[in-house]
Amino acid sequence: MAGTIGVIIGSLRKESFSRKIANFLVENPPVGHTLEIIEIGDLNMYNQDFDEQEAPDSYGPFREKVKSMKAIIFVTPEYNRSVPGVLKNAIDVGSRPYGESVWDGKPALVVSNSISGLSGFGANHHLRQSLVFLNMPTMPQPEVYLPSVQDFFDGNGKLTKSDTGDFLKDVLKSFVAFANR
């Protein structure tokens, strides 16, 4: 089944390694698919009062965009052994109002990374915990943990580590097969 796969990045940093990984995925889509980055940096901090009152203008387009996607890929670093707040905020925004979650049933892939050898394991698994609750079937294998990402790119932000590039292309193929099930 063809379709667009949304890519959500857990970092707002200009030179974010997570964004560079996301860009690589977008530039190397699996056959028959398009990948599109869904920006989360302009989403106001979620407040439950918005569910009863008028929500911020940024919420509607984000929710509609997520809803239109066949599946979602999260590319995230780890902040303090968990998911960066900006990503958690996006997850919360998409999950409400109650009963109207735009995440429901969307297949998901988690790609975590870090500048150390730990590969964002804590963020990866805290994110998976939320995805279980959101009813997002999340690809169990292959898991994607990318260590020492600062060594992956050239001066233009292009991935130069060819084994990682090959691995990520294989991951995308596996993810499409998983999402089509």
Ligand X SMILES: Cc1cc2nc3c(=O)[nH]c(=O)nc-3n(C[C@H](O)[C@H](O)[C@H](O)COP(=O)(O)O)c2cc1C
Q: Which of 50, 88, 115, 125 binds ligand X (CB under 6 A)?
A: 115
16 binds ligand X (CB under 6 A): yes
User: Nearest 10 degrees: CA dihedral of 19, 178, 1, 128?
Assistant: -50
37 binds ligand X (CB under 6 A): no
Q: State in angstroms the smallest separation of the CB of 24 from ligand X.
A: 13
Q: State in angstroms the smallest separation of the CB of 80 from ligand X.
A: 5
Q: Which is nearer to ligand X, 143 or 178 (CB)?
A: 143
11 binds ligand X (CB under 6 A): yes
Q: Which of 30, 43, 78, 130 binds ligand X (CB under 6 A)?
A: 78
Instruction: Give residues 116-135 in contact with ligand X (rule: CB under 6 A).
Output: 116, 118, 120
Q: Which stretch binds ligand X (CB under 6 A): 42-50, 51-59, 74-82, 169-177?
A: 74-82
Q: Which residues contact 17 (CB under 8 A, 6 or more apart)?
A: 11, 77, 113, 115, 149, 150, 152, 153
Q: Which is nearer to ligand X, 12 or 70 (CB)?
A: 12
Burial 91-117 (b: 16+ CB within 10 A, else e): bebbbbeeeebbbeebbbbbbbbbeee
Sheet bearing 71-76, strands edge to edge: 33-37, 3-9, 71-76, 108-113, 144-146
Q: Which two tokens stand for residue 170?
A: 């294989």
138 binds ligand X (CB under 6 A): no
Q: Can you give the binding site for ligand X, defined by CB under 6 A?
A: 11, 13, 16-18, 77-81, 114-116, 118, 120
